[in-house]
Every structure is written in C-alpha cells, then in structure tokens.
C-alpha cells in the first residue's frame, strides 16, 4: 500500500467493517480480518488454510469462477455477488471487489454484506410483480411524466392497454395518445388535462374511445403534482380498460329495459340513492338530471301505498331483513299508473346501513294474471250451462275492461254471408245485421285469412275500408279475431277504441284470440249437446223400434194366418159341417171335397209363411231359398214381380243380417213403392257382402228420409244403425229419371 506504513495498514485491516481476505494461488485462505467473525461467525484462525470454495454456495460456483478468470486477466471492473455459509448454516450474500498481485500471486479481496440490500430488492421486485399482476387482472395501468425532464414511465399493463410492446415501444406523449383516440373525444381529454392543471392534487377523470391499434374504451384518472417551487413538477395517473365494463353495462341496460326492471342502492343514514338506468326509466326521470331522493321515491306513490312502504322498509331496517312491496307509479304520459314490485334487502357495511334491491314493472304480469282468471271464470260459466247470449255479453265486457277499449262486438256469420250482432258493448242498443252480405270490411279479411287483424289508426289505414258505422262512432283503433267453430267459422270478436294506438299488440291479440277460442269451444259444446240430445231421442226411438220388431213379426204372422190359412180352415170346417147334415151322398161328397181343397190351401200358405219367417229356412235351405221365400211373400202382398239373384260366394258370411235387412226392405217395397218389379241382389266385392234392393216404383225424397226419424218413422234409420254397428254403410238413391229407389248395404266381412 503506497504511502501507508505496514503498521498503519495492519491497523486498517483490523478495523475495517468490510470483509478483507488474502487468498493464495491455490485458493486457500492466507488471512482474514475480524469482520469475518462479525458477518459469518468464523474466527480468523478457523479460516486460515481452508479452501475458499468450501464456504461457497453450490449455486454460485459458475459465476464465481467466471469472475476469478476475469480478475486473472486484470479486468478492473470484475465484480461478483455470491453466497457464503454462515457458521450457523444460513447463507449470507457478499459483494466482492478483488485484485491479484502478480508479484506474489495472491488474491486480495474486499467484500460487503449485501443480504439486507438483496432482500429489499427482492421484496421490491415481488411488490412490483404483485402490482403488475393486480393491474393485469383489473386491466389498470399507471403512468408518470416528469415535467422538468420530459421523461415518461409506463407500467407493463399500461403498454398492454394501448396494445403495445413494453420491450420495444416507448411511452406515448399526449399527441401520440390523441392520434389513437376517436376525434370526437379529443376535446374531452384536453378539458380533463386543463382541469387537472387548474386544480393540482385533485384527481380528474376522463373516458374516451380508442380506434387503434384496437377499438377499446379507456378511463383515465389524471393528477398534477406541484414541486417545491410551486410549479407543476409531475403529472401522473392511472388508465383502466373499461371496454368489457361498458359492454356489460350496455347489455344490462338492454336487459333491464326488456324486463322493465331497475336496481338501486340506498344509504339509510341520509337517504342517498343510487339508481340504475332502468330505475330512472321506470320513474320517468333523466339519469343526467338531479340525483333522486327519498322524498321523490315516496311522493310518486299513492298516499296509502306510501304508508305501507314506509312501514315495510322500516321493519326491514330494524331487523336487517328484506321486504317486498307493490305500488303504482305514474305512466310516462301521465294518463294512467303502472304497477311495480319493489324488493330489497338490508345490510351493514362498516358503520353504515344500506338497502339494495330491484324495482320491476309488473303491470303486464298482473294483467296477464287477470286475463287468465277471467278466462277461467268464463269457462266455469260455460260449464254451468250459461246460455250463449250471456256468455257473449260477458266476453264483450271482459274485452273492454281488461284491454281498456271502448267497444266490443260478437258478430255471428249467417247463412247468406252477412254478419249479425250476437252481442255488443259500447255501441248502444244494436241488433240485426251488422255487415250485409258482400260488403267489404276488415271482418271479411279476418275471416277470409283466418287470422287476427289490427288497425292501429283508421285515419292512416289503407288496407281495409273505414266503415261508416265505425267512423260515426269515432272509432280510431280496431282489433278483429275469428271465432273458429268445429264445422267452420261462427263469426268474429271485435274490440274498438276511440284513441289511436295499440299497447302491447301481441299480448292483446293473444288475449282476444283466447276469448274467441273460448267462445268457439262453448258454441261447439252447446251445439254438440243439442246434437247429443237429438241423437238420444233418435236412439230412444230406435230402441223402441227394436222392441216393437218382434211385435211386428207376430203381426205379420197373424195377418198371414188370418188372411190366408185361417180363412181356408174356417171355410173347410164349414164345408165339413154342411157335409154332415147333407141329405144325400152326392152333396156330402161334394162338401168334403171343398173342405179338402181348403185344408190343402191352408197347409200351402202355412208352409210358405214358415219358410219366409222362420230362421230354420235360412239355416237348412240356405240364403237363396230364404230370400226367395221372403221375396215371394212380399211380392204377393205388394202385387209386384220379385227377382232374386244370390252369388254363392256371398253366402254363409253375413246371412242372418242380410236376410233381416232384405226382409225389412221388401216389406217397405210392398207397403210404399207401388212398384211393378223389385230386384234383390246379393254379391261379394272387396271384402264385403253387398245387398242391393232396387224397385221401379215411385221413388223417395232424401229430405223426407232425413226428417223421418223426427216424425217417428225410424225404419230406415234403424237399418242404418244396424249396418253401421258392424262397420258397414247404407246408401239410398233414386234412378236418374226419378222412378224407383235403390238401397245398397255394404257389410264388411274382414
């Protein structure tokens, strides 16, 4: 050491707070100063002769070797930081400055304990990492500009928000920023900067849209810091990417508008209110106007509603519970009130009590509920047997009450195409024809298209004619829905308003359609009940006819026996009586001959009757023999010629039913046809037995056939029922010239 005596150098060696060491060219410790014991816990005599690498951390071997190599080549800047083991086992960071003396080959080193410095640097690095992670998650970057030097600083997230590379791109100045912001927002940024300079230390917020490098929305907070000289020294701030936030707010606002709902938060201590855009909309207030107050909240209610709301909210605050209240608010045009449902919950944050909740417009839900209740009530009236006129009147009343219209009609479609008043409300006392046949109207279009039609304002309508009746009544708005019956449209349900416009047309038309569907069901049900009653009457007559069938059979047998065989037997008996009293043999023989002939005629007639009427003939003689017998007997009664043709392929399948039907039809021909010829044909075709009975008589009117059951003549109706009971059909027709009748029965055999 030039200029320093050895004694002085030794004194400095012993007093130095740094760690001093001398190492030979074999890396063995020659000497150390006492600071080694203070820093690493080793006394100097414990270290003398030890290889320095024994104390070195294994992870620092490579960097230490490189530093020694640099020192050996006399690199004056060669420094190294590495870790040495403390006597108690922990590691201590040392920063070395080392040189090599070429004269003796020793290495002379000075080290300083930098463990605290390294720890502080690590903690600062960890803090910075955490801050950058937090900024990345929150999409918030920070920045700073030194106004004296012009130096600018960005965090990494600040670069990310602007879509730039922190390792390549420099931070922007104001001109750079404005070049990437949409022109419409430039003035907002300049105004915010001016306010920040005008009020140092007060944060100023500004929101703007960037169009490059990507379309984003940013919100920046600016603060100006004043230096010791009273002049602006620093401008700093944070920038947050609020693109997703604004998009979510937009979606929330759209959802709130669609659901007619809003949210709020209130501080109980001072009544401060924070409303969402949806809540402002429900109250008809401007979100950019004065903030809402508790007084505004209660003043919008009716007095009795406000009293209920105050009590419910007070109870919720006292119990830290929740509440639900329903009240009304003035509508946007002030002509009516809407129903809203308010729900809230009370919570505490620190020393303050808050209420948060939602407010929803439930006018539509309540209306739908009332509509459903009215439909159910009308259904109960219909089931209770209420007459149609009363149901029509109720539907018109419900339509006007629940839709807020002024008039309603039920118009019934008549057979000639006209429409008549079935019920009316709001038009005064009207009756008779509402729309003559052939008149064009919105009702005609609704029926023709089988769809509801709405005219929001007749003064602007071009599709349909504005009828004089509607014009004279001052109608401006009309809705028409068809009443669809089972067998065709019954008519229409209409409702009219004196003011133009249709609120929620889809909902209103759906309700009218439901009312029309109810009317159609009620009409069909009542018509069906009438048909059932008529069918029940007919069925009763058919049952009576079936019960009387046996009596008619007996009557026919009685007539046959009385008019034929019985008369012959009575005559034969008289002949035998006279033969017994005759005075001579010739007279007795003549009278006995007469008696014999009478008995023979009676036997022949009895045999014919048995063949025609008794099933034994059918069973043993077959269908053709039985049919010939029945036709022959009917031919004698009706004085016509009978022709019978029976296909052998058609026998044995439906014989009893075919025979029964043929006997009834032949009897009808004998009584009513006045025919010269009756032809009976039995055949088989397409899995069915066909029975045809055709005559050339006076014919029959189909209208008389349809009306006959109601007049008590149910013969053909009885036949039809018996045929349809086996899945068959019975057809009745006249010859083209009007002479003769043909009855065709088709009886399935599959």
Specify the DSSP class assigned to residue 58.
G
As averages over each run of 10 residues, the pLDDT of the chain (750 residues) reads: 68 87 90 93 93 92 84 71 94 91 86 91 85 86 93 93 91 93 95 94 94 89 94 94 88 81 92 89 86 87 93 95 93 78 94 93 86 87 81 91 90 91 87 89 93 93 92 93 88 92 78 88 76 62 53 56 62 71 74 74 65 52 82 86 91 84 87 89 90 88 58 63 82 77 88
What count of residues does the chain have? Answer: 750
Sign of CA dihedral 453, 455, 460, 466: positive
**Paired sense of beta strands 152-154 and 140-146, if any:** antiparallel
Cis peptide leading into residue 65 (ω within 30°): no
- Asked: is 362-613 a CATH 3.30.1330.10 domain? The reply is no
Question: Which CA distances in Å does 376 have to 35, 224, 383, 387, 514?
Answer: 100, 71, 11, 17, 11
- From the list 186, 159, 160, the residue with the least C-alpha distance to 171 is 159
Out of 3.30.450.20, 2.30.33.40, 3.40.50.720, 3.40.50.2300, select the CATH number for domain 121-241: 3.30.450.20
Task: Write down the pLDDT at residue 8.
Answer: 75
Query: What's the burial of 167, exposed, middle or buried (CB within 10 Å: 0-12/13-18/19+)?
Result: exposed
**Paired sense of beta strands 273-275 and 261-267, if any:** antiparallel
Phi/psi for 41 (5° steps) reads 85, 10
- From the list 496, 379, 482, 378, the residue with the least C-alpha distance to 430 is 496
Question: Which CA distances in Å does 450 have to 378, 396, 668?
Answer: 24, 20, 48
Q: What is the CATH number of domain 623-750?
A: 3.30.565.10
CB neighbourhood size of 361 (10 A): 20
CA torsion, ordered 372, 377, 379, 380, to nearest 10 deg? 150
CA pair distance 166, 304, nearest whole angstrom? 64
Which CATH superfamily groups domain 17-113? PAS domain (3.30.450.20)
Q: Which long-range contacts (CB under 8 A, 24 or more apart) does 207-211 make?
A: 207/242, 208/181, 208/182, 209/181, 209/182, 209/184, 209/185, 210/162, 210/180, 210/181, 210/182, 211/180, 211/181, 211/182
CB neighbourhood size of 2 (10 A): 3
Residue 183, CB-side half-sphere exposure with 13 Å CA sphere:
0
Residue tagged 């074999």 (tokens)? 26
Task: Write down the pLDDT at residue 732.
Answer: 85
Q: In what order do the strands lie in the sheet with 677-685?
A: 641-646, 677-685, 688-695, 741-748, 729-734
The answer to whether 468 and 439 have CB atoms below 8 angstroms apart is: no
CA pair distance 109, 13, nearest whole angstrom? 12
| Two tokens, residue 210 | 């960037």
CA pair distance 97, 353, nearest whole angstrom? 64
Output the DSSP codes for 665-697: HHHHIIIII--SEEEEEEEEETTEEEEEEEE-S
CA pair distance 460, 471, nearest whole angstrom? 13
CB neighbourhood size of 123 (10 A): 10
Q: What is the CATH number of domain 246-361?
A: 3.30.450.20
Task: Write down the pLDDT at residue 491.
Answer: 93
CA pair distance 405, 509, nearest whole angstrom? 13
Specify the DSSP class assigned to residue 654.
S
**Which helix (DSSP H) or strand (DSSP E) does residue 586 occupy?**
helix 585-613
- From the list 507, 297, 554, the residue with the least C-alpha distance to 402 is 507
The model's pTM is 0.46
CA pair distance 2, 578, nearest whole angstrom? 197
| Two tokens, residue 46 | 């414990």
* 3-class state of residue 332 by DSSP: coil
**Paired sense of beta strands 677-685 and 641-646, if any:** parallel
Beta bridge pairs of residue 414: none
CB neighbourhood size of 707 (10 A): 11
Q: How far is C-alpha 177 from the chain's CA centre? A: 49
* 3-class state of residue 453 by DSSP: strand
Sign of CA dihedral 284, 288, 289, 294: positive
Q: Domain-by-domain residue ranges, the chain? A: 17-113, 121-241, 246-361, 362-613, 623-750
**Which helix (DSSP H) or strand (DSSP E) does residue 682 occupy?**
strand 677-685
Q: Is the fold of 246-361 the same as that of 362-613? A: yes
Residue 299, CB-side half-sphere exposure with 13 Å CA sphere:
5
Task: Write down the pLDDT at residue 1.
Answer: 45
* 3-class state of residue 350 by DSSP: coil
CB neighbourhood size of 409 (10 A): 25
Kindly give, in sequence order, each residue whose CB lies less than 8 Å from that of residue 242, ignoring residues fewer than 6 positions away. 139, 207, 217, 218, 219
Task: Write down the pLDDT at residue 616.
Answer: 47
Question: Which CA distances in Å does 710 have to 495, 532, 534, 621?
Answer: 41, 14, 9, 39
Q: How far is C-alpha 73 from the chain's CA centre? A: 85
Kindly give, in sequence order, each residue whose CB lies less than 8 Å from that of residue 669, ignoring residues fewer than 6 positions away. 634, 638, 640, 675, 678, 693, 695, 697
CA pair distance 493, 185, nearest whole angstrom? 57
CA pair distance 115, 334, nearest whole angstrom? 77
CA pair distance 104, 24, nearest whole angstrom? 8
Kindly give, in sequence order, each residue whose CB lies less than 8 Å from that of residue 308, ignoring residues fewer than 6 positions away. 325, 327
* 3-class state of residue 747 by DSSP: strand
**Which helix (DSSP H) or strand (DSSP E) does residue 95 occupy?**
strand 91-100
CA pair distance 397, 391, nearest whole angstrom? 10
Task: Write down the pLDDT at residue 710.
Answer: 47
Residue tagged 């501080």 (tokens)? 267
CB neighbourhood size of 259 (10 A): 12
Query: What's the burial of 396, exposed, middle or buried (CB within 10 Å: 0-12/13-18/19+)?
Result: buried
């Amino acid at each position: 050491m030039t200029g320093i005596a050895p004694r002085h150098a030794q004194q400095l060696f012993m007093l130095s707070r740094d760690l001093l060491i001398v190492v030979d060219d074999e890396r063995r410790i020659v000497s150390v100063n006492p600071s080694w014991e203070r820093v690493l816990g080793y006394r100097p005599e414990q270290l003398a002769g030890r290889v320095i690498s024994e104390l070195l951390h294994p992870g620092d071997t490579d960097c230490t070797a490189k530093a020694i190599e640099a020192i050996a080549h006399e690199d004056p800047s060669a420094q190294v930081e590495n870790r040495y083991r403390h006597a108690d086992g922990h590691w201590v960071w040392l920063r070395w400055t080392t040189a090599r003396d070429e004269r003796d080959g020793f290495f002379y080193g000075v080290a300083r304990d930098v463990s605290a410095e390294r720890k502080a640097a690590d903690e600062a690095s960890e803090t910075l990492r955490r801050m950058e992670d937090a900024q990345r998650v929150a999409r918030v970057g920070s920045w700073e500009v030194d106004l004296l030097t012009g130096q600018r600083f960005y965090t990494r997230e600040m670069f990310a928000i602007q879509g730039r590379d922190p390792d390549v791109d420099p931070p922007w100045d104001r001109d750079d920023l404005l070049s990437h912001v949409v022109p419409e927002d430039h003035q907002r940024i300049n105004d915010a900067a001016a306010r920040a300079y005008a009020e140092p230390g007060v944060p100023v917020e500004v929101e703007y849209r960037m169009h490059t490098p990507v379309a984003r929305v940013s919100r920046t907070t600016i603060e100006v810091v004043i230096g010791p000289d009273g002049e602006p020294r620093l401008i700093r701030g944070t920038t947050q990417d609020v693109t997703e936030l604004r998009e979510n707010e937009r979606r929330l606002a759209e959802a709130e508008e669609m659901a007619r709902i809003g949210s709020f938060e209130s501080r109980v201590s001072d009544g401060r209110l924070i409303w969402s855009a949806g809540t402002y909309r429900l109250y008809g207030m401007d979100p950019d106007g004065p903030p809402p107050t508790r007084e505004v909240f209660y003043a919008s209610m009716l007095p009795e509603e406000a009293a209920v709301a105050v009590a419910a909210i007070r109870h919720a605050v006292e119990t830290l519970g929740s509440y639900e209240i329903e009240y009304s608010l003035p509508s946007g045009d002030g002509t009516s009130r809407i129903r809203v449902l308010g729900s809230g919950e009370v919570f505490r944050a620190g020393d303050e009590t808050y209420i948060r909740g939602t407010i929803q417009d439930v006018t539509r839900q309540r209306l739908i509920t009332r509509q459903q209740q009215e439909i159910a009530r009308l259904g109960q009236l219909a089931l209770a047997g209420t007459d149609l006129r009363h149901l029509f009147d109720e539907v018109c009343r419900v339509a006007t009450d629940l839709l807020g219209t002024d008039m309603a009609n039920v118009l019934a479609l008549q057979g000639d195409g006209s429409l008549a008043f079935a019920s009316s409300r709001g038009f005064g006392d009207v009756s008779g024809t509402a729309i003559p046949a052939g008149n064009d109207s919105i009702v005609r279009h609704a029926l023709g298209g089988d769809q509801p039609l709405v005219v929001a304002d007749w003064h602007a309508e071009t599709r349909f004619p504005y009828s004089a009746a509607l014009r004279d009544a001052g109608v401006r708005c009309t809705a028409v829905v068809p009443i669809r019956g089972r067998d065709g449209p019954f008519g229409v349900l209409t409702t009219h308003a004196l003011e133009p416009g249709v609120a929620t047309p889809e909902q209103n038309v759906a309700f009218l359609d439901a009312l029309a569907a109810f009317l159609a069901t009620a009409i069909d049900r009542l018509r069906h009940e009438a048909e059932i009653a008529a069918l029940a009457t007919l069925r009763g007559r058919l049952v009576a006819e079936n019960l009387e069938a046996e009596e008619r059979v007996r009557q026919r047998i009685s007539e046959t026996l009385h008019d034929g065989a019985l008369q012959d037997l009575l005559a034969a008996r008289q002949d035998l009586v006279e033969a017994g009293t005759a005075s001579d043999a010739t007279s007795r023989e003549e009278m006995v001959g007469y008696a014999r002939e009478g008995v023979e005629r009676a036997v022949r007639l009895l045999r014919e009757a048995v063949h025609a009427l008794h099933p034994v003939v059918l069973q043993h003689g077959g269908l053709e023999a039985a049919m010939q017998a029945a036709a022959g007997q009917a031919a004698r009664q009706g004085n016509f010629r009978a022709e019978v043709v029976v296909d052998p392929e058609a026998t044995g399948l439906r014989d009893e039913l075919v025979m029964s039907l043929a006997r009834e039809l032949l009897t009808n021909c004998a009584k009513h046809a006045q025919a010269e010829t009756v032809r009976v044909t039995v055949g088989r075709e397409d899995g069915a037995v066909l029975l045809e009975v055709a005559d050339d008589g006076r014919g029959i009117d189909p209208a008389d056939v349809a009306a006959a059951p109601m007049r008590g003549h149910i013969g053909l109706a009885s036949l039809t029922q018996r045929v349809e009971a086996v899945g068959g059909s019975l057809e009745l027709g006249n010859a083209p010239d009007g002479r003769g009748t043909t009855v065709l029965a088709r009886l399935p055999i599959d």
